[in-house]
Each structure stands twice: as C-alpha cells, then as structure tokens.
Structure 1
C-alpha cells in the first residue's frame, strides 16, 4: 500500500547568534498587558538591525530570535508574531 508522507522541510542554521543580542530595549518597555505600540515599536526597532537574518525564511534565524526574546522577557509564545503583524515583505524597516 502506498502511504502519502508529508515532505520534510529543513532549514539552515542561523549564521548569527541571537543569544548575544541585548533585548533590554524591548523588555524594558513591553510588559504585561503588552500594549501594542510600545511592544511593536521596540520589537521592530531591534529586529530591523538584524533584518537580513530575520527575514531569511531558509534559516532558523527568526525562530531563534523569538526564542531568545521570549526567554529574556518571559513572554508568552507567539506574542510578537500576533501583536506585530508584518506585511508580505516582512517587517517595515
């Protein structure tokens, strides 16, 4: 019998270490209840410094940045992805 298996997608490792980023510019202003303007403004300002890495959908860069950011600020998963909606071209940098 033929079994249809989903194609596995592999992403290249991020060439930048997002563990070295200082996330204080976000964590100092984006606090519960997570108001959109200060959270997104600070997120976009920091992320735009690394936008080449962040927007590369062939790497794990965006996932890594979100993981480090969520850890630094004890943010709920998906907060910035849902709060700061980007257009089809990514973040407005």
Structure 2
C-alpha cells in the first residue's frame, strides 16, 4: 500500500514537473518570438531608411545632371551665336536675336 502511495505521489510530482517545464518552454518560445519580431521591425526600419536615403541621393544626382545639361546647352548656344556672328559679321547679341 505504501509503495502504491509512493508511486502515485511520484507520478503526480513528475506530472507537475513536466507541466512547469512546458510552461517555461512556452515562456521561452514567446520571448524568442517577441525578440524575432523586434529584430524584423528593426531590419524593416533600417531598410526603409536606406531606401529613403537612396531616393534622396538619386534625386540630388538628377538635379545635378539637369543643371549640367542646362549649362552645357547654354555654352553650346553661346558658341553657336559666336560662330554665326563671325560668319555674318555681326555681334553675338545680334546673332542670338536672329
């Protein structure tokens, strides 16, 4: 009879121990999932900032390209007016007005 009682108590304690272990495992899994979610959020924030920085850099490069193109166009127009002025024996301003 005492052996049966000991077996029942041992089984109950073992069951409680497994239950506690399972709860601890669940807590660990939950904490791991929370940390993973935080890591994903941080990575998304970093990626978003990188995209914004790249877009800004591309916009600035496009602005510089437009300015360089305008400057080149102005120089070409000036040279064309100088050549025309030389050919027609007139001033550059007169050639630009033509």
Shared fold, TM over 0.5: no
Higher RCO (C-alpha under 8 Å, 6+ residues apart): 1
The TM-score with structure 2 as length reference comes to: 0.19
Q: Which has the larger radius of gyration?
A: 2
Higher percent of residues as helix:
2
The TM-score with structure 1 as length reference comes to: 0.19
